[in-house]
Amino acid sequence: MKELSPDDRPREKLLRHGAPALGDNELVALVLGSGCRGTGALALANALLTTRGGLHGLVRSTCDDLVRVAGVGRAKAAQIVAALELGRRTLTHAPSARIQLRTPHEAAAYLMPVFGSRPVEQFGVVLLDTKHRVLRTAVLAIGTLNSTVVQPRDVFREAALGGAAAIVVFHNHPSGDPSPSPDDKELTGRLAAAGTLMGIDVVDHIILGDARYCSFKEMGKI
């Protein structure tokens, strides 16, 4: 593909304009990665599509079918079959259901195994969609044995970038006692107020201890 101008080469075209801008032959050429002696990847892709009856024929091809095309060895045939199988699986495998955090107990059960027994304090946020299903979890700050520092702007920057409709904030107490400190209470109030302004619901603030937790929602403080 060196004979093509840089803007017309499949890889550069994909990076510049996205995969939908590429033709079937260009996508196949990218899967192939390279051609063979005297034949570039794009010409080899054209030969594959012509020999196998287009993209639909290619989907039904086996490795043995593909290696009959001059220039296609078993390694390239395997690459094509693997890429087509991945595409097929996206159509036949339903995506896994995301975890839904409907109660403080469910939120604590989700967080405790990973963050409940840490030797230093960590503060993080669980990003939720409109149905309170987990989008992802992020640790925002790591502190000392008994303290960490986080600002509401850090929390809501993460929430906004992650497209969250709601959040659960959390941190652990390495002492094992999840009782909230005055600083915990003050920060929770600031987060709830900022959430109202941002339009992102602060569902709960969970403090994780040693197999115990404290929920500001359960206490009626949020």
Which has the higher per-residue pLDDT, 128 or 115? 128
- Tokens at 11, concatenated: 């890889």
User: How much is the pLDDT for 26?
Assistant: 92
**pLDDT tens-digit series, residues 58-78:** 988 999 999 999 999 999 999
The answer on pLDDT for 206 being more than 90 is yes
Side-chain-side CA neighbours of residue 80 (13 Å): 33
Average the pLDDT over 21-25 and give the result. Answer: 90
Using a cut of 0.85, tell me whether the model's pTM lies above it.
no
CA–CA dist 173, 167 (Å, integer): 20
C-alpha distances (whole Å) from 140 to each of 42, 148, 187, 193 are: 46, 10, 14, 19
Using pLDDT thresholds of 50, 70 and 90, give the confidence band for residue 34. confident
Residues 6+ apart with CB under 8 A from 188: 169, 180, 202, 205, 216, 221, 222
The answer on pLDDT for 55 being more than 60 is yes
User: How much is the pLDDT for 40?
Assistant: 87
The answer on pLDDT for 117 being more than 80 is no
User: How much is the pLDDT for 2?
Assistant: 52
Could you tell me the domains of the chain? Answer: 6-92 (1.10.150), 104-215 (3.40.140.10)
DSSP 218: T
* β-strands 122-128, 213-215 pairing: unpaired
CA–CA dist 7, 37 (Å, integer): 24
Residues 6+ apart with CB under 8 A from 8: none
Handedness of CA 60, 65, 66, 70 (dihedral sign): negative
